[in-house]
Chain A
Amino acid sequence: MIEIRNVSLSLRGSAILHDITAGLPQTGITALIGPNGAGKSSLLHLCAGLLRPSGGVIAVDGGDVTRMAHRDRARRIAVLTQAQALGSRLTVGDLVGFGRWPHHLGRPREADRQVVAEALALFDLETLSGRQVETLSGGQKARAFTAMAWAQSTPWLLLDEPLAALDPRFARDLMARLHAMSQTGPQARGVVIVVHDLNAAALWADHVVALRDGRLFADGPAAEVLTPATLGALFDTAFGTVDTPRGRLVYPA
């Protein structure tokens, strides 16, 4: 459980988040939605311990995320940020291998290599593993960075717009995989994603947290939040729904 209690955030004098309180359950996918500039990414960064709240507390599995030792945090929370720039020239295999660093601190063991091989297979990167990351397309790069976060094998996986650069097939595959890994079981991981594709949220998310202007707008099971009424007020535009064999989809009317 990630508990967000009265969290606010100001960056360089401008207020980004105001007094947010919400709980992100360990089981299932939580989708963070909202208009541009609502503070979704900031909230995700706060949950990952990459930013420090100006007020309030974020507790991950009971521990204050800002007080965790750096290494413990990296073994509990993996995060995919939007900025996927690298300082060094790396192959895809090396990049995904860095996901294991919090576990081996520079001395990879056989188990680490196995997880990396699994990650490469899972994200369809095996044929690319010898390529330089900087020569990849945007979508391939996104998959490589997601695979790195996955290889961290953490109980929590936080992804900031993981779908933005993916084609429909990889986007669906990723959501299906996240959904499968977030369900109950010994390997279950809590998954939190920032998405703009409301239908990806409608089809795969269990829980939705909606932000607007840095404030909590709605918080609840996906079916209760993704209604034309709530979405209309959240995005200032009318929404309709349509039932398909895969489930109920929403569209801006």
Chain B
Amino acid sequence: MAERRLLLLGLVLLAASAAFLLWNLRGPVGFILTLRATKLAALLLVGLAVGVATVLFQTVAQNRLLTPGIVGFDALFVTLQTGLVLGLGGLGLAQLPALGRFAMEVLLLVLAAQALFGLLLRKGADDVIRMILTGVILGVMLRGVAGLMQRLLDPSEFSVVQQAVFASFGAVDRGLLLIAAGLLAMAMLAALRMASELDVAGLGRVPARTLGLDHDRVVRRSLALVSALVAVSTALVGPVTFLGLIAASLAHALMQTHRHAVLLPAAGLLGALFLVTGQFLFERVLGLQSTLAVLIEFFGGLLFLALILSRRRQ
């Protein structure tokens, strides 16, 4: 049942990808195809990673509304970018080799994410309210710090920050994409291999422990994977964690199962589907008149509301 829906989802994604590649293909075909294929690869990769990361995060946090973004990860990224521009200068940052900058950002983000999630979820989530509050307050504080630093920048450097903190799939470096693909694929495979343990962890800390699961170890590992997934995808294209909430909620609603062997790929496929269709509409229909983030939050938000309301009726 759930497997069939998963297959169907895969086919829909395939169709969307094909449309993205081949729609209105004119002019120098080879050149345009390469350009589109690179962009498509980035969209698929980031969508998959964010979907998988959010399901992992929600399972160990025992909460279906939390995402790494909500507990402060995006704010962390903005602060980090602003700090980099302030510290190195817009020019200094631009002069860094792409790979070096990417590696540095990934490293800093992984470390910061580990610290953030560790602080919030060290022992599983026995106190969700405390965790959300801590995350939100940390987020506000980080945004405040970033805001202050942005006041100190001159306008041209400020525009460098502005570019960095909005997700963009327009100019992804192909070499970085390859490296990111390797890292993300490894992390996603590791998550899939833990699927059965995650099913048990999803029961809650006490039931999981009575069933012989080393719950604390599963939480630690999952958070390490979440950190890696969101850090790499954010360093690659900018903050996209808003996508995760939609992908994970929809995966739960569509698949109607507790099994992570289904939920993880479903959330990943949905994340990718959202990004690909969003970018398609954004480029071809809206003529680049908005940003992808706005589009996805708009349609995703509508979908999310519909889901919540329809569940209440049942």
Contact between B213 and A87 (Cβ–Cβ < 8 Å)? no
Residue pair B204, A71 in contact (C-beta under 8 Å): no
Q: Is A94 an interface residue (CB 8 A)?
A: yes
Q: A70-B212, A74-B211 are in contact. Are A81 and B202 (CB under 8 A)?
A: no
CB distance from A241 to the nearest CB of B (A): 37
Interface residues on chain B, size class: 10 to 19
Q: Which residue of A lies closest to B212 (CB)?
A: A74
A101 to B211, Cβ gap below 8 A? yes
User: How many pairs, one residue from A and one from B, have CB atoms within 8 Å of each other in the complex?
Assistant: 59
Which residues of A are found within 8 Å of B258, using beta-carbon distances? 88-90, 94
Query: A111 an interface residue at 8 Å Cβ cutoff?
Result: no
Nearest CB in chain B to that of A89: its residue: B258
Given known A-B contacts A89-B258, A105-B196, A106-B199, A98 and B206 have beta carbons under 8 A apart:
no
Measured in the bound complex, the distance between the Cα atoms of B209 and A48 in whole Å is: 10
Name A83's contact: one of B195, B202, B206 (CB within 8 Å): B206
Q: Considering residues B197, B199, B212, which has the most beta carbons from chain A within 10 angstroms of its beta carbon?
A: B212
Smallest CB separation, A148 vs chain B (Å): 8
B210 touches A78 (CB 8 A): yes
What residues of chain B lie closer than 8 Å to A85, measured between beta carbons? 204
Q: Flag whether A79 is at the interface (Cβ < 8 A).
A: yes
Check B213–A70 contact: CB distance below 8 A.
Answer: yes
Q: Is the CB of A81 within 8 A of B200?
A: no
A87 touches B206 (CB 8 A): no
In the bound complex, how far is the Cα of B206 from the Cα of A212, in angstroms?
26
Contact of A87 among B197, B202, B210 (CB under 8 A): B202
A102 near B212: Cβ-Cβ < 8 Å: yes
**Are the C-beta atoms of B62 and A50 separated by less than 8 Å?**
no
Instruction: Confirm or deny: B214 has a beta carbon within 8 angstroms of a beta carbon on chain A.
Output: yes
Question: Which residues 33-82 of A have a CB within 8 angstroms of B?
Answer: 48, 50, 70-75, 78-79, 81
| Residue B207 lies at the interface, judged by CB distance under 8 Å to chain A | yes
Interface residues of B (CB under 8 A from A): 59, 62, 195-197, 199-200, 202-204, 206-207, 209-214, 258
- The 4 A-B residue pairs with the shortest CB-CB distance, nearest first, are A74-B212, A106-B196, A88-B202, A88-B258
